[in-house]
Each structure stands twice: as C-alpha cells, then as structure tokens.
Structure 1
C-alpha cells in the first residue's frame, strides 16, 4: 500500500469566519520534514489563505480571509494548505506555491476585501473636509 506524500496543513479545528474578516492559525510543528516538503495553498470561492509568519525560513502561521459578505465555514477536511513533497505538486488540484503569481494575486484580493470599510469612509470624509478648508491642514 502506498501512502500520499501530501500532508494536510490546514486548521486543526473547524472555523466560522465572518464576512470580510480573517482568522489565524498556527501550522503543526512536526507535520512533515520541512526540507523535503514545500507549503502549497489553494483558495476557495470565499476563503483566501495567506502565510503571515515564518520561523527559521519555514511557514509558521496562516491567516484565512473571508472575501464574501456571509460567514464562511472552513472544515478541518477542506485542505486549504498542504505540505507537498518537493517536485510532487500536480497542477490539476488547484494548489499553488507561495512564490507563484496566482498566490500574489490572491493576497491583493484578500487585502482589498478585508480593509476596515468604516475607517476608509472616515478617511475619505476627512480628506474631503480638508480639501474644502485648507486651514484645517495645520
């Protein structure tokens, strides 16, 4: 019997992520030998993973960002992040490496969808006020 060379690096418990918010989890410390595996991630329609912390050059923490209006449920079986044997990533599964263009594009999308909209509106109002009254720039 042959076992898969992929190790699930997703969250260890189910998560409910409110709309346009994020939750962070820590990767298991000894899930696989890091020198022989590379972290690959995949996004869903609602959730985008982002690696936020590294320890000794290896990924340590992942943030899951919900880019939808509604709460997103993430099961422990969703496999949003996988440790894959080097050279063993099949393209058809939807996983990408952290140095890929797709991953970078996802990070832009996650940032756009998770900004504090109230803070943004307040900033716009402040700029408009300052534009109408140059003396308030002081």
Structure 2
C-alpha cells in the first residue's frame, strides 16, 4: 500500500513539473525551462543562505522594489544591498523558501514567485538578436503578511 502511495505521489510530482516545464517552453522558448528552473533554484538557495551578493547579482537594474511598504527604484547593486534587509523580510524569505518549482506561475510577463506576485523574474535580451536571453529578477513586490 505504501509503495503504491509513493508511486502515485511521484507520478503527480512529475506531472506538475512537466506542466510548468511545458508552460515555460511555450512562453519563453523551446527548452528554456532548464534555464528557468536553474535560475529559480539558485535564487531560492541564495536567499536561504542569506547570500546578499548572489541575490544582488540576479537582479536587473534599475529595479522597482517594495522597501518598507513603499515602491522604490534601486539604480544599482549598491542601492540594493543598502536596503536588502528591509526588502527580504522574514515573511518574504519564507515565501521564497516554500515556493515549489512545479507551483510557479508563468505568463508572457515572466515567472512569479509567491501567491501574490512577491517576486517576478524573466529572460531579458542583452543583444539585438536575443538568441540567449539572460534571466533576472525584474520586480520585487514584497510581502504584505
């Protein structure tokens, strides 16, 4: 009985992972899900480890971030690092830590972390051809909890 329950659970996980993989490939380009998954897992790990430098390197500047309940435009890494602790509150860190890859929401604007759109990331064109977009955090809405 237990082995069939585990088999069913792993099949459900594979189905939901396949769903987000397909959605990302459809929206962001063929086989892009691998890049997006790696970006998400790297970001999640960096936040969990309080690796502020790594998190800062994953943002697209200038970026709008919610700082102490108000939108603020951060022009560069230095601006971001100065307010990191005010942005990445314990509740926002919890949202990021508990987000599962297969539960990510994606649309043409990007990929959303959190049920209320706390963090958005997307591929950005660095060249005219945009053959290989660079994935970056594009918006930090914070957490209202």
> Greater strand share, 1 or 2?
1
Q: Choose between structure 1 and 2 for higher RCO, CA contacts under 8 A separated by at least 6 residues.
A: 1
Kindly name which structure, 1 or 2, has the bigger radius of gyration based on alpha carbons: 1
Which TM-score applies when normalising by structure 1? 0.26
Which TM-score applies when normalising by structure 2? 0.25
